[in-house]
Structure 1
C-alpha cells in the first residue's frame, strides 16, 4: 500500500452559530483546508470525499455528504456520508486514507460538520441520544452524561480516582482552549470553579462535560506519489486503527475501560511501528473528563487505574511530558459531533509542522488522535509523524 499524507487542514470556529447552515460551516472548513496547502490545490484535483455527520435535528438525512461537497464546488466526485456517532469524521479520515493507500484516489477530502444549536435543547437531546443504545438505555431515559457518570463512579470505586482529578482534566483543557481562537469555551477555569459547578450527573459537574457546539473540519489526504507536488512539509499518517464494541454499557464486561479504544490503539501503533512511549502529544476524545482519564489508560500512556494520578502529576499539561488535548479538547474547544475527529487531525497537523502558536509542543515528532463514538461503541486512532521523520517522493 502507498503511504498517505496530510497536505492541508482547516476548520471553522466552534461555538453557537444558529444563523449558519451546515453547508456554510463546511465551506469555511473546506476553504481553510485548501488555503493551507503550501503550493495550492484546485477542486478538480480532489478525487473523492468522505464527510462525517449525524445531522442533528434530522436535517438532510439522505445525501447529506454530496449536499455539502456540491455546495463547495466539488462537482461530480464520489462522495460518501460516514455516520459513526461522535467518531464519524475520524472514521471519514480512515476511509480517505484507505482510498489513497489502495490507489483509488491520489487526493481525498475527509471532514465533518454539525449544526446543533439552532434547535430546542429537547430536540437536540433527542437526536444526540440516537447514538446511545436505544432499547435499554435511551428509551429508558438514560442520557450520555448519565452513562459517563456511571463510568466515572465505577472507576472511582475500582481505583480511587477522585472528583478533584476529574476537575484537573477540565482545568488543563480550559487552559489550553484559552489559547485557541477557534475554541467554543475559550476561557480558563479554576479548580474551585470546576469542583463547585452544578452537578449534571453525579459525580460529574458542569465543568466535567463538553458543550453542544456547531462547527466543521476538513483535511486533505494525498498519496506518496503526489504529496510533494502540494507541499514539502506533509504530515505522514503512519498508523490507523479502528474497532467497535457493544453500544450499551450493559453489553460490556467492565465499565472502567473502552475495549474499542484499546484495539484501535494497538492496530495504529502496530501499523506505525511505534508504541505509547513514542507519542509526543495526543488529542483524545474527552466528551466528559472521565473519558480522558480512560483514554490515558486504554491508549497505554499509563497502567489501568493510574489515569487520575497522571493528570494529578501534571504529565498531560502543555508543559508536561505528554501534553494531551492541546487544542482544548472537546471540553473547551467544543464538540460539533460530526466534525470532532477531523478537527483533532487539524491540531495534530499544526503541532507536527510547528504551527500551533502558543499551544506548540516543543520538538513534536509523533502525534496521536483518538475519536470515540457514543460511550465506546466505536473508536478510531491515527498516529502521525512530522515532516522531519520521512522522505517524500518528488
Structure 2
C-alpha cells in the first residue's frame, strides 16, 4: 500500500458550543486544516459523524458541509461507524489518496451533542447498540461498559480503585490542553468514590459528551514534502470488526477487532507495538483502555489495569507508555464521531514537535486507535515522521 501523509490539521476546543451549529463547527476546523495545508479545494471531503441524525435531526452531512465551505461540486460523503467514525473516515481518505485517483482529501470529524440533553441524549446514542436485542430492553452504552467492567473485576479479582490511574493521567494531561473540555486534575483516591452512572462506571470513569470538530488534509507521500514543511506519514491503516454484542463474543474480555487491526497496521508500518512514542486510545471508559492495552499486546490478559498503577505515572508524558497525551476522551471530552480525527490531529502535533505543554519529547511514531461501540469496530493507524518506505 502506498503511504500517504497528513499535511494540514485543525480543531476546535471540545466544549458545550450552545451558540454554534454543527456546520459552523465543522467549517471552523476545516478552514484551519486547509490553511495549514495550503490547499484551497480538496478533491474529496469525508465527514465523520456518528449521531447527526439523532442529535441534530440532520443527515447527508457530506453535501451540507461541502456547500457551507463553498466547495459545491466537490465529491463529499458522510462516514459513520459509531464512535469509530473518525478513524473510519481517516482510513477512507488514506485509501482514496493511496489509490492515485485522489490528490488531496479533507477529513472532517464533527459532533454536536448539546442540541439534545439528559435522557434524550442517552436514547439518541443508543443507535450504536443493537436496536432489537439491547437498547429496546433498556441497555445503554455506559450500562454495557459497566457489565464488561464488572465481569473483568470478578474474573481477575480487581478492585475498582485499580483503574483510577487511567483517569488521573488523562486529567493531568488535559489540564495542560487549552482545547480540553475538563481541565481539572483528579485527586488520587477519588475515583472509586465518584457518583455512579452505571455501577461500577462512575462520573470519573466515563468520558463526557462534547461538541467539537477536527480536520486533517491528506496527500500522497510523494507529493507531501512539496506541500508541507512537516508532513506526518500514515504508514499503517487497518480496520476490523467483532461480534456486535459483547454477549455473543467467544470471549467478551478479549477485544479481537483491536488485536486484528493493530497487528495489520503494525505489519504495514514494519513496526512493533513497543516502537511507538505514544498511543492515543479509545478511553471512553477505563475498562476500554485496559482491554485495548491487552489486545494490542502491551499487557497480558487480565493485567491491563496494572499499567495504571502508581497513579498512572507510567502513562504520563514522560512515562514509558504515554497515552491520552492531550487528555484523551476523558478530559479533552468525547465528540463521538469526531474523536478519531482529534486523535489524528493531536498525534500529528506531537510528531511535529508542536504539542507545547503536552509534548512527548522526541516523539517519532504514534499509534492512534478509534473504537465503535464496545469495540465492535476498531480502526488503527500508525503515524510517523519518516517518509521512507
TM range (shorter): over 0.9
Query: What SS does the aligned partner of 2:10 have?
Result: strand
How far did residue 312 of structure 1 move?
A: 0.5
Task: Find the counterpart in structure 2 of residue 120 from structure 1.
Answer: 117
Alpha-carbon RMSD across the aligned residues, in angstroms, is 1.5
The within-5 A match list for 1:42-81 is 42-43=40-41, 46-54=42-50, 55=52, 57=54, 59=56, 61-81=58-78
Aligned length in residues: 386
- Pairwise CA distance, 1:61: 4.1
The equivalent residue for 1:236 is 233
Q: Verify: 1:348 aligned to 2:344, yes or no.
A: no
Q: Give the Cα separation in 2 of the matches to 1:18 and 1:369.
A: 29
Range with bigger deviation, 190-199 or 53-62: 53-62
CA–CA distance in structure 1, aligned partners of residues 152 and 368 of structure 2: 23
Does residue 1:7 correspond to 2:7, yes or no?
yes
SS of 1:89's equivalent? Answer: helix
User: Which whole-Å deviations, capped at 9, do the CAs of 1:113-154 have from their partners, x for residues lacking one?
Assistant: 111112232221111111012212111101111111111112
> SS state of the match for residue 204, structure 2?
helix
- Pick the aligned partner of 2:219 from 208, 217, 222: 222
- Give the Å deviation of 1:374: 0.7
In the TM superposition, what is the alpha-carbon distance from 1:3 to its structure 2 partner? 1.7
Cα distance in 1 for residues equivalent to 2:53 and 2:314:
36
Q: Mean alpha-carbon deviation: is it higher for 54-63 or for 251-260? A: 54-63
Alignment pair present for 1:306 and 2:299: no
1:225 CA drift (Å): 3.2
Aligned to 1:290: 287
Q: Which residue of 1 aligns with 2:267?
A: 270
Conserved in 1, the CA contact under 8 Å of 2:107 and 2:217?
yes
1:370 touches 1:381 (CA, 8 Å); kept in 2? yes
Kept after mapping to 1: 8 A contact 2:45/2:107: yes
Alignment of 1:122-201 (within 5 A): 122-201=119-198
Which residue is 1:17 aligned to? 17
> How far does the alpha carbon of each residue in 1:66-91 deviate from its partner, in whole angstroms, 9 at most, with x for none?
10121112221111111100000110
Instruction: Tell me by how many angstroms 1:158 deviates.
Output: 2.1
Task: Return 28-37 or 102-111, whichever deviates more.
Answer: 28-37
Q: 1:390 offset after TM fit, Å?
A: 2.8
Q: Deviations over 1:164-207 (max 9, x none)?
A: 12211111100011111111112111123322211111212210
> For the Cα contact (< 8 Å) 1:245–1:377, is it kept in 2?
yes
DSSP-derived class of the 2:207 partner: coil
CA apart distance, 1:162: 2.7
State the Cα distance separating 1:36 from its structure 2 match: 2.4
How far apart, in 1, do the equivalents of 2:159 and 2:383 lie? Answer: 32
Shift of 1:16: 0.6
User: In terms of mean alpha carbon deviation, does 67-76 or 159-168 score higher?
Assistant: 159-168
Secondary structure, aligned partner of 1:26: helix
Q: After TM superposition, give the deviation of residue 161 of structure 1 in Å.
A: 3.0
C-alpha distance in structure 2 between counterparts of 1:232 and 1:112, whole Å: 24
The DSSP-based 3-state class of the residue aligned with 1:36 is helix
Distance 1:125 1:133 in 2: 14
| Secondary structure, aligned partner of 1:207 | coil
Preserved CA contact (<8 Å) 1:210 1:335:
yes
Mind listing any 5+ residue stretches in structure 1 that lack a counterpart? none
Tell me the CA shift for residue 317 of structure 1: 1.7
Question: Does structure 1 retain, via aligned residues, the 8 Å contact 2:55–2:121?
Answer: no
Pairwise CA distance, 1:391: 4.8
Distance (Å, rounded) in 2 between the aligned partners of 1:302 and 1:209: 22
Q: 2: CA distance between counterparts of 1:319 and 1:3?
A: 30
Distance 1:256 1:272 in 2: 27
Specify every segment of 5 or more residues in structure 2 that has no aligned partner in the other structure, as ranges.
none
Give the TM-score, by structure 1 length: 0.95
Partner residue in 2 for 1:372:
371
TM-score w.r.t. length of structure 2: 0.96
Report what 2:277 is aligned to: 280
Cα distance between partner residues in 1 of 2:302 and 2:315: 16
C-alpha deviation, 1:34, in angstroms = 2.0
Q: Relative to structure 2, which stretch is displaced further, 213-222 or 118-127?
A: 118-127
- Once residues 58 and 213 of structure 1 are traced to their aligned partners in structure 2, the CA distance between those partners, rounded to angstroms, is 12
1:60, distance to aligned residue in structure 2 (A): 5.0
Partner of 1:36: 36
Contact persistence 1:56–1:124 (CA under 8 A): no
